[in-house]
Amino acid sequence: MYAEERRRQIASLTAVEGRVNVTELAERFEVTAETIRRDLAVLDSEGTVHRVHGGAVASQNFQTAELAVDVRAKSASSAKSAIARAAVDYLPDPQGGMFLDAGTTLAALADLISAHPMGPRWSIVTNCLPIALKMASAGLDEVQLLGGSVRSITQAVVGDTALRTLALMRADVAFIGTNALTLDHGLSTADSQEAAVKRSMIINARKVVVLCDATKMGCDYMVSFASIDDIDVVITDSAAPQSFVDALRERNIEVVIAQ
């Protein structure tokens, strides 16, 4: 296992469990205690965890910082690709409609939709400028890009125009990305305008499928845009803590572990 992948799993475990122990982590990942201490030092410097004697505890602060799309695309890229492949099983029937949220995992799904034989038969609405351009370049005609202002850091379209358009629409499936997922705060993100668009997609879709890699679990951002009860399906990766997966399933949410 690469160090980045191990640290990603440690961060997720800490966020969900609240506290982790160096000795237990060393046994779990079959590395030395010194290696785990270095991992925790890196995660602490990033603000992901707080180091304490013998281990680390989860950061309790609501996060506000956002990373640019090109930076986020490099994080957990293999997990995002696996999640996108699993999401293909939830695409609507031919002639159906879907909402595609902005985000790097959604961009991976958009690649698969663009190459899908049924791609031209779906009606697709997105607020993501790169996704719309990608699908149009692939020859998909039934792609609508919502109007509004484009946020440079995420390349997502937001604002009143987008919200008014979504209010008139209905979709079979909404594929939604998130910066964070907790049991009590639900889905959350840093920007209130993006949160409003995500919320509108969720409200106006028959089924809500959340694409969420394990690094997002147990984290919290400032603006909650949906509760746990608003979600039908969560697609995540094998690094997701089992306790968190079990808790979601106890809330009658279908959880898919992408391999």
pLDDT (tens digit, 0 to 9) for every residue of the chain, 259 residues total?
678 778 877 877 787 677 889 999 999 889 999 999 999 998 888 777 888 889 998 766 555 555 555 555 445 678 899 999 999 999 999 899 999 999 999 999 999 999 999 888 899 999 999 999 999 999 898 999 999 999 988 899 999 999 999 999 999 999 999 999 988 889 999 899 999 999 999 999 999 999 999 888 888 888 899 999 999 999 999 888 888 899 999 999 999 999 8
Domain(s) labelled CATH 3.40.50.1360 in the chain stretch across: 69-258
Q: Tokens 């994080």 map to which residue?
A: 75
Cα–Cα dist 165/138, whole Å: 24
Amino acid, single-letter form, for residue 95? Q
Q: Give the HSE-up count for residue 131: Cα atoms under 13 Å, Cβ half-sphere.
A: 30
Domain(s) labelled CATH 1.10.10 in the chain stretch across: 3-58
CATH topology of domain 3-58: Arc Repressor Mutant, subunit A (1.10.10)
CATH number, domain 69-258, options 2.102.10.10, 3.40.50.1360, 3.40.190.80, 3.40.50.970: 3.40.50.1360
What are the two backbone dihedrals, phi and then psi, of residue 191, each rounded to the nearest 5 degrees? Answer: -115, 130
The CA R_g of the chain, rounded to the nearest whole Å, is 18
